Structures are given as C-alpha cells and as structure tokens.
Homo-oligomer: A and B are copies of this chain.
Amino acid sequence: MTASFDFSSWPPQLTPGQLEALTLAATTYALSHGLLYLPPSNSISNTQPRIPTTAIHAPLSLFPSPFPRAQFEAARRLQSVYNVLYARVAMDTEFLDTVMGADAGVGKADEFTGTLWRGWKNIREHGVVQPLHLGLFRSDYLLHDVGDRLGLSLKQVEFNTISSSFGPLSERAAAMHRHILASTSYLSASPYLTAENFPENSTSSGLAEGLAKAHNAYGVRGARILFVVQPNERNVFDQRWLEYELLEKHEILVIRQTLAELAVSASLVPSTHALTITLPSSSSLTNQPATYEISTIYFRASYTPSDFPAPSYYDTRFLLERSRAIKCPSLPLQLAGGKKVQEALTRPGVLEHFLGNEGARWCIGARDLIAFPTNICGTWMGMWALSISEPPRTRLARREAASLVLKPQRKGGGINVYREAIPAFLDSLRAEEREAWIAMEMIETPRGVGEYLVRA
C-alpha cells in the first residue's frame, strides 16, 4: 500500500450482482471451513441446545481492510516486546497491588477487580505452587490519522491478557479472502487486491503451540488441558479449532467445563495441589466416573462480572488458581490486562522500569529492550486515570470530552462512554466510582473507509 492510498475509496464500488457473486463465494467458503458461530437461541431462556445441529457463518467482511504494510510489520515486531512487558507486569506484585489492588488501586472502586485481587492476595499469602504462567495475548490496534503531513500511525486500543478470542476464526477469514481472490480475482476491483497483499495467518497453530508448551512444562503423562468456557457460548468454533489442533498436532486432550460445572467436578489433591476433574460416567463405558489431572487451564470465561453470578463462582475461580496447573492466564496476568495498567504504563519512567532493566532474564536481551520504549510509547494515545484526589483530571475529561473515550476496568464491548456522552456520565458517577475509569484520547481512524460487512 503506497503512502497515497485513498482510504475513502474503500471498499471498491460493486453492482448488486457483483456484490451477490462475492458474498456467495464468501459465505459458502465460511460455512464449509468452520468460520462459524452457533445461531442465536430461539428459546426464551436463551440457552443453546446441548448438541448443536446447525451453524451460521460468522460475521465477515467481504474485502480485507486496507492497512499499511509498514504499520502492520511494526505491530508484529512490537508484539514480542509487549509480551515481555506484560509478563514482567504480571510478576511485579508491588506494581499490581498499587495499580489494581483493592487497598491502593482501582480495586477500591471496581468491585470485580477488587474481588479478583483479594483472591489472588489470599492465595499468594498461602504460597503459590505453580511458578509458571501462560499468556496468549492479543494487542488490538487501529490506524490513527493525524493529518496528511504526519501520515498514519499504529495506535493501541487495548491489550488482552485473558480470553483473547478470534485467533482461529481470523485465520479462516484470511483464508476466505485468499479464496475469493483466487476464485474471482475480486472482479479486478482494485489493484491492491493481489496475493502479496494478503499476509499469511497461522494463528491457530501458534496458540495451540503455546498451550502445548505449558502442558509439556507441567509434564504429567495423561494430563489434560481444561478449557473454562461460558455457558451458552456461541463462539464455540473459535475454541474447537484449538481443541482439534491440540489433539491432531500435539496429541493433547481437552476437557471443556463451565465454572458452574467445575464447582462440582474440580478438586485439588491436598498433598500436591494437583487439579483433578471428575467427569460423570458418560465419559466411559465402565459406568464409573473418570478423573483426570489438569496440566493447563485455558480461560475463555471469568473475564467479566457476569461470569460470576454468585459468590461461589469466585470460590471456584480461586480453587483453580490455587492449583498446580498452569493458568492461562493466572490472576496476576489477568489483572495485568486492566485498563488502569495500560494507563499506568504511560506514566513517566514506568515503561523504562519494566523494559530497561534485567533484560537478560528474558528472551529478549536488555540491549534490545532499551531500544524499544520509544516504539512502544509510539503506539499509545494520551490517557489518564480519573481520580478523587486529583479533580483536575476529571475536569480535563469533561473539557476535552469531544475527543475522548472513558473506559472501565472491563473486557468486552458496549461498556465504554464516548465523546458527547461523557459529561452527563461523569455527573452520574459518585466521586469514588470515578477511580474505576480511565480517559483515553479517541483514535481518529482514516476518514471515509468502509467495508461490506456480511451477517447471517
């Protein structure tokens, strides 16, 4: 993509017939290749059937979206630095206590964060039995258009340390775009639609490799990996592809359980803290319950308060945390993904604290890391925490509202407060509730860029 690319020219214009031809190729490929969701429930209780018989294609974009190659490659290069950064944050108990804790940090104002932090604090006071953590991260970016002269820059929306989804489905979306190119040449709609502009995507194998590495580090033959899932999850195929990859490439079996199921099935071996799951007799023909040791816990649930409809759900989460199984993520790694951490990293000296020292302890040498802070900082928008003790920060958010977004300590969509809605929202917050929020400058994406989005 050249510097002169006109984003407002995207997507290419299509006639209804052309749109239909490309959409048919896209949805048929998606259905065939497991780029799928379970369909919305028809039932009042919004439950999914125990055994799925039907699927819909996942929401998809007909064209790939334009993204400058230099920024794309920068994001890939930065990822290993971000990985080290967040691993170090997760290991820095003092920092996490200060930023996320319920005594001194955002856990005071945000009950969910506070509960997780208190659970973690309690566990570490009794001694953490598993020193290894597994992180499968996803750093989300948008292009920021700062005006013609300065060009486009890569700006981070957020950094996910838990339940980072859409790896396998995005791999299939990329394959779908390559298929449409190969089968239709995208109707020659744009000179940018050429094979060398469709980057490879092999996310599934990378994610499964991470899980397999943790499993092997745990080192117990016959152990299984536990996927902690939400009840009535519709994005199951994104998870199933990891199960298939783990089985086919690594010969590792997976057990899927919700927190509610784990309340019954999970227990710790007192002497070793090994986590075991006891499944009902349906898992064997002996009509005896079967018990499996768990090497690795992969959380695709427990990232949001609604995953904990009763206090007992936290007990289950903490039971898992106390175990010797390797957690993806551990509680400190989950807390490291908080918005407040994202904001704290932007304060003077903090990034240098994490990346500038002790580099030799990590896979990237100190020399390399010291060179990186500038690049890492370059991906940040301005942000600050709202605070009781510093009213000017809230006043600033009010004054600059038109270019801001407020974000709570929560993962998932639909919970941010944007621009004009900010002042009234601030009026509605009690002072102590403000601490749960950070203000972030809006990323201004290139104007006029669009897509053909297809939903089932």
Question: What is the interface of chain A, defined by CB distance below 8 A to chain B?
Answer: 12, 14-15, 17-18, 20-21, 23-24, 27-29, 31-34, 36, 39, 50-57, 179, 182-184, 187-189, 236-237, 240-241, 243-244, 247-248, 253, 280-287, 455-456
Bound complex: CA of A183 vs CA of B286, how far in Å?
Answer: 17
* Copies of the protein in its oligomer: 2
List 29 A–B pairs whose Cβ atoms lie within 8 Å, in order of A's numbering: A12-B285, A17-B281, A18-B281, A18-B285, A21-B283, A23-B51, A24-B50, A24-B52, A27-B51, A28-B52, A31-B34, A31-B36, A32-B240, A32-B244, A53-B56, A53-B57, A53-B456, A54-B54, A54-B456, A179-B244, A179-B247, A183-B247, A183-B253, A184-B283, A187-B283, A187-B284, A187-B285, A188-B284, A189-B285
Q: Is the CB of B50 within 8 A of A27?
A: no
Q: Is the CB of B253 within 8 A of A51?
A: no
Q: Is the CB of B12 within 8 A of A24?
A: no
Using A31-B52, A32-B36 as known contacts, list a sample of 5 further A-B pairs with CB atoms less than 8 Å apart, ordered by residue number in A: A18-B285, A20-B50, A53-B455, A54-B54, A188-B285
Residue from the list B12, B56, B282 in contact with A18, Cβ < 8 A: B282
A235 to chain B, nearest CB (A): 13
Q: Is the CB of B28 within 8 A of A281?
A: no
Q: Which chain B residue has the least Cβ–Cβ distance from A456?
A: B53
Bound complex: CA of A55 vs CA of B18, how far in Å?
Answer: 23
A277 to chain B, nearest CB (A): 14
Q: Which residues of B contact A182 (CB under 8 A)?
A: 247-248
Q: Is the CB of B188 within 8 A of A32?
A: no
Q: Which residues of B contact A184 (CB under 8 A)?
A: 283
Q: Which residues of B contact A241 (CB under 8 A)?
A: 32
Q: Which chain B residue has the least Cβ–Cβ distance from A284?
A: B187
Q: Which chain B residue has the least Cβ–Cβ distance from A251?
A: B182
Q: Which residues of B contact A18 (CB under 8 A)?
A: 281-283, 285
